[in-house]
């Protein structure tokens, strides 16, 4: 086994591997080795006590979780889910795109979360919730005599299933009981399960899909979404409550006065309590300063509906040491001999010198660890120090690091989006428009205005100008499969064209436009076929890129993205997006003439490896030097479809281009060190 110093030279800085962008706890796999049980243990106990009260009396409650940027709010939500999922179902609710759709947004995110399978379980939260209902767990003696497995009996007969639930929950005043219980029955059919989930989350389904589910209407209004959400709570008195976790709220819409629209969220919260929606624990995570800036804008009656304020506090130096120790533990496990100190090469004195008051935030502990570790790494590598000794070279390395770290972060987040975003219809129209609006702003479009259309479908649209042109361009993005909805959207487009709201109106739609006999199709052909108004069919990869950028925007506005030890702003994110050209192969943006279309020779096999080559180079940039074995292992982990020979070839190309060099080429391959050429 190698010495600890040899490992430090060869390995990636372990503090670079801390996820800099916490997000949806169903999409982010928390590293349990980062958990120090004593950190925020009191706050977790307070929230658990509120959950226990909901379990006891079924009355909904609201917790406001406040903390400074870097105090660990998003991570705490994930930890709550990980530790308390055995006694509650958890839903992550991110920022909404349009306050006119807030109830539908909450319902969509709730059902999406319920479709996840908790750790240690074989079925989704949704099926665990359904099977845990008292209708299937509490039986009369008569029922036990006639059949010992009521679940299987009712599963095979839809009408008996509906009748049984109606009889069981007759006093609960279930909204649209026959339809709701019928869709719950369809969850038990593997073929209908996806459609039933789509209906529950509020998708506007096609006529054929509605026929399969035996429903005549989808969830089309805010009131309907609220009532369906209430249904979940009303019939869950004998199963686990639902914890709705609102997070990253700095990217919510703004009111007419420019302030963040927190009032819409607290209106929702008040309705939860005033209309007696049962079995919900609402947890609102917010930056302390954001709360202070907005608290007086929220009506007093709504503020009174907060049952518990939990304020995350700073951590002690002992807890800081424990964070370092957990992060360094895997490295120490490979060393021979094992270091005497669990935080080597770091020291307690480093913490005492930086934080003489004895308190700090988890983020700052990780940032300090990263810097001090890197300083030690360069100090013990004299052959590397000789190669990178000049001041000008050091500045070049530092200047390259932020861009390189951003590109690594982008590739990491895009890979996650590819795994999560499996179809365009996962997003509502307002979400798609909001994501596109954010990218347009990053690419320096001007005069961006939401809601070009008027009426019910205003949230499906926006307008803007290209920076070098004066003409107004409109965009409508409508993926609703229902042809009646499509007809109404086409009517709204025709009215916008008729009043000359924009010079060019793009329709973005991957879904079908209906057969020629439908009225909606006729309006579509009249306005978007053979006219100056194009119809663009977006590809999934483009939407995945929009979703990646949107996720980063949410995290940046929540002050959660750290590059080269610095919290970056939205303006810096926009600049990095342009400078790195990460959106330049987005076909949707090319079709919109926002980005110039690439030449066709980019499809060659060799250039398909360009993202891998970029990853290799950027990884070396961030570390300055590292073991070739570590470089290859990390690349193979990120690009699992490649083999080591291909990576060797790309490393050789980077050496030939004088971007990196092997500084001990006569050593065994697994002992060679790769250095950034500055």
pLDDT for the residue 636: 92
Least-confidence region, from 378-387, 417-426, 582-591: 378-387
pLDDT at 19 exceeding the cut of 80: no
pLDDT for 531: 94
* Cα distances (Å, whole numbers) of residue 477 to 100, 325, 432, 513, 659: 17, 49, 7, 13, 43
Q: Which residues contact 234 (CB under 8 A, 6 or more apart)?
A: 169, 172, 173, 174, 277, 278, 279
> If you average pLDDT over every residue of the chain, what do you get?
89
Percent of the chain with pLDDT over 70: 90
Q: What is the CA angle 60-43-47, rounded to 5?
A: 15
The pLDDT value given to residue 155? 59
pLDDT tens per residue, range 308-326? 999 999 999 999 999 999 9
- What is residue 609's predicted lDDT score, i.e. its pLDDT? 87
Q: Which of 24-33, 45-54, 326-335, 362-371 has the lowest mean pLDDT?
A: 24-33
| 58 torsion bin: left (phi>0), alpha (psi -120 to 50), beta (else) | left
Would you say the C-alpha torsion 102, 107, 108, 110 has a positive or negative sign? positive
Name beta bridge partners: 316.
359
**Phi, psi (degrees; rounded to nearest 5) at 18:** -70, 125
Least confident of 24-38, 55-69, 312-326: 24-38
The DSSP code sequence of 483-502 is HHHHHHHHHHHHHHHHTTS-
* Ranges of each domain in the chain: 4-21+315-389, 133-218, 406-597, 606-676
Give 500's contacts (C-beta < 8 A, 6+ positions apart).
Answer: none
β-pairing, 473-477 vs 461-465, is antiparallel
Q: What's the average model confidence in pLDDT over 470-480?
A: 94
59 SS3 class: coil
Q: Cis peptide leading into 337, omega within 30 of 0?
A: yes
What token pair was written down for 369? Answer: 């660890």
DSSP H helices in 380-428: 382-387, 391-420
Local confidence band at 594 (pLDDT 50, 70, 90 cut-offs): very high
Class (C level, CATH) for 606-676: mainly alpha
207 within 8 A of 54, measured Cβ to Cβ: no
The average pLDDT across 625-632 equals 93
pLDDT at 469: 77
Q: What is the pLDDT of residue 395?
A: 43
What pLDDT does 253 receive? 94
Strand partners, 627: 673
pLDDT tens, residue by residue, 123-147: 999 998 888 877 676 554 334 333 4
Strand 673-676 vs strand 660-662: parallel, antiparallel, or unpaired?
antiparallel
Q: From the CB of residue 643, how many other CB atoms can be counted at a distance below 10 Å?
A: 9
For residue 167, the model assigns a pLDDT of 87
Q: How far apart are CA 331 and CA 317, in angstroms?
A: 22
User: For the segment 601-614, what is each residue's pLDDT rounded down to a tens digit?
Assistant: 444 444 478 889 99
Alpha-carbon gap, residue 178 to 169, rounded angstroms? 12
662 vs 655: CA distance, rounded Å: 8
Q: What sign has the CA pseudo-torsion 369, 561, 68, 43?
A: negative
Q: What is the per-residue pLDDT across 157-196, written as a single tens digit (0 to 9) for each?
A: 788 888 888 888 888 889 999 999 999 999 989 999 999 9
């Amino acid at each position: 086994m190698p010495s600890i110093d040899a490992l430090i030279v060869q390995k990636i800085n372990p503090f670079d591997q801390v996820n800099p962008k916490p997000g949806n706890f169903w999409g982010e796999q928390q590293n349990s080795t980062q958990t120090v049980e004593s950190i925020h243990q009191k706050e977790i106990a307070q929230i658990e006590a509120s959950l226990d009260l909901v379990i006891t009396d079924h009355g909904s409650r609201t917790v406001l979780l406040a903390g400074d940027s870097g105090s660990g709010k998003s991570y705490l939500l994930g930890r709550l889910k990980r530790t308390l999922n055995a006694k509650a179902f958890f839903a992550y609710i991110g920022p909404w795109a349009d306050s006119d759709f807030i109830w539908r947004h909450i319902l969509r995110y709730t059902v999406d979360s319920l479709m996840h399978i908790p750790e240690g379980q074989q079925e989704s939260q949704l099926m665990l919730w359904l099977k845990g209902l008292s209708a299937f767990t509490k039986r009369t003696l008569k029922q036990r005599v006639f059949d010992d497995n009521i679940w299987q009996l009712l599963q095979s007969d839809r009408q008996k299933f509906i009748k049984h639930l109606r009889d069981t929950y007759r006093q609960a005043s279930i909204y649209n009981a026959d339809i709701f219980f019928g869709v719950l029955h369809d969850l038990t059919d593997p073929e209908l399960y996806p459609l039933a989930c789509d209906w529950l989350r509020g998708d506007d389904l096609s006529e054929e899909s509605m026929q399969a589910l035996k429903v005549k209407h989808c969830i089309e209004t805010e009131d309907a979404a609220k009532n369906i959400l209430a249904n979940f709570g009303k019939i869950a008195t004998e199963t686990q409550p639902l914890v709705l976790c609102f997070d990253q709220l700095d990217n919510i819409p703004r009111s007419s006065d420019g302030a963040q629209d927190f009032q819409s969220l607290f209106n929702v919260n008040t309705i939860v309590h005033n209309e007696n929606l049962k079995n919900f624990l609402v947890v609102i995570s917010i930056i302390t300063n954001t709360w202070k800036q907005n608290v007086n804008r929220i009506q007093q009656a709504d503020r009174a509906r907060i049952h518990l304020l939990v304020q995350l506090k700073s951590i002690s130096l002992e807890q800081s040491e424990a964070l370092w120790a957990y992060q360094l533990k895997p490295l120490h496990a490979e060393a021979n001999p094992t270091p005497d100190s669990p935080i080597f090469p770091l020291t307690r004195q480093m913490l005492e010198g930086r934080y003489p008051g004895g308190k700090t935030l988890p983020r700052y502990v990780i940032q300090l660890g990263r810097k001090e570790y890197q300083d030690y790494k360069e100090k013990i590598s004299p052959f590397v120090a000789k190669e990178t000794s000049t001041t000008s070279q050091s500045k070049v390395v530092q200047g390259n690091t932020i861009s390189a770290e951003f590109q690594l972060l982008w590739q990491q987040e895009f890979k996650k989006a590819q795994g999560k975003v499996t179809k365009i219809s996962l997003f509502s129209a307002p979400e798609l428009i909001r994501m596109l609006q954010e990218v347009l702003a990053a690419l320096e479009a001007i005069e961006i205005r939401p809601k070009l259309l008027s009426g019910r479908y205003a949230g499906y649209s926006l307008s803007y100008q290209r920076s070098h042109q004066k003409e107004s361009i409109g965009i409508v993005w409508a993926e609703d499969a229902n042809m009646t909805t499509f007809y109404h959207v086409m009517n709204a487009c025709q009215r916008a064209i008729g009043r000359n709201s924009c010079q060019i109106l793009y329709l973005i739609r991957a879904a079908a436009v209906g057969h020629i006999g439908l009225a909606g199709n006729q309006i579509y052909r009249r306005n978007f076929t053979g006219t100056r108004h194009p119809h663009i069919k977006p590809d999934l990869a483009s939407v995945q890129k929009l979703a990646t950028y949107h996720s980063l925007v949410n995290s940046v506005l929540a002050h959660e993205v750290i590059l080269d030890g610095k919290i970056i702003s939205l303006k810096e994110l926009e600049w990095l997006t342009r400078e790195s050209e990460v959106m330049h192969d987005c076909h949707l943006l090319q079709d919109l003439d926002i980005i110039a279309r690439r030449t066709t020779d980019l499809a060659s096999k060799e250039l398909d490896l360009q993202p891998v080559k970029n990853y290799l180079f950027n990884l070396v940039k961030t570390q300055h030097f590292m073991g070739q074995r570590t470089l290859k292992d990390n690349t193979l982990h990120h690009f699992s479809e490649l083999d080591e020979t291909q990576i060797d070839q790309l490393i050789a190309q980077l050496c030939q281009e004088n971007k990196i060099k092997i500084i001990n080429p006569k050593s065994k391959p697994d002992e060679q060190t790769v250095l950034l050429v500055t």
